[in-house]
Each structure stands twice: as structure tokens, then as C-alpha cells.
Structure 1
């Protein structure tokens, strides 16, 4: 009878070992699944961070180009002296009359002779 009892106990131990092994494999699988999800989230966060930085770089490069264009245009316009329209020298204002100033031009032929 001992043989029968020993033989009947082995399948129970074998089932317990298989059940324990199955539980360990399921637990390992769940741990790996959690790790994969965690790594996916970290990767997604890193991609979003990269996209944000690339967008900022694009914006700053465009802004720099724009400011350089403005600088090149304000150097030309800002540093030029402002011209105020002056009245032509031919015109003068007198108490008695307003009109053209008389300019005497000598005849070139007379000068050459």
C-alpha cells in the first residue's frame, strides 16, 4: 500500500508544481506587460517633448529671419535723415508780395565774346 500511496501523491505534487509554475509565468507576463506599457508612455512623452522642441526651434528660426529682415530694412530707413520739405529758394514771402524770386541769368554768348 505504501507504493500506491506514494504513486498517488506524485500526481498531486506534479499538479501543484505545474500550477505554481503557471502562476509564476502569468506574474512574469503581467510584470513584462506593465514594463512595456510604462516604456510606451515614456517613449510617447519623449516624442511629444521632441516635437515641442522642434516646433520651438522652427518658430525661433523664423523669428530670427524676420528680425534680421527688419533690421536690414530699419538700418536703411531709420538711419537716413528725415527730410523736411522746405520751400523752394525761388519763392519768398514779402510783406507786399508773394512770388518767384527774380534770377538773373547772363547770356552765355555774351560771356564768350
Structure 2
């Protein structure tokens, strides 16, 4: 039996070391913005709403390229503007842009991780 305690406050001391969350909206937003370009095979799978198998080469490559693209965007923003932007901030912005576009085609992978 435990006691009910008040809300816990989480502190992340190194949030700058966290990368973006490789979900399903951000890669689609990056594609829409012209940052990512899908192969014709991947485009066909996504456009036909077919599932991409969890852990498959296509899923891993899509997630890895999304993370890489966000990190490169972060570096370019710092280089061009001198402003430090966190990967998680870019992730939130890209996700917000993506969910506002109802016609956005995204990949489908059954997973408990996002």
C-alpha cells in the first residue's frame, strides 16, 4: 500500500542531447516540405495505405532519415541564424505543421512505440 503523493516534477538536465521522436507525422511533413524524398516503391506503399512491417528495412530507413534530416535542419538553423534550436522543438513544430494538413499521406506501421 502506498501513499498518494503530489505531482512529480521531472527535470531533464541534458535535453539538448535528446533527438526528435521518429513518429509517423514528422516524416510525412518533411516530405511535404521537400526535405525528404521517398523512393517510388516507398511512395507506392504509403499512397496505397499498405502497412510497412515493424523493423523492416523501409521502416528503419524512414525513421533514421527523419532523425538525420531534423538534426541537419537544426545545424543549418544554427549556422544561418546563430540560434540554438533543440531537436525536440523542431519535432514539435514539424508535428504541428503535419497534423494541420488532413490530406497528408503518412506511413502505417503497427507499433506500441508511437
TM-score of the alignment, normalized to the shorter chain, above 0.5: no
More helix by share: 1
Greater RCO, CA 8 A, separation 6+: 2
Which one has the largest radius of gyration?
A: 1
Normalising by structure 2, we get a TM-score of 0.24
More strand by share: 1
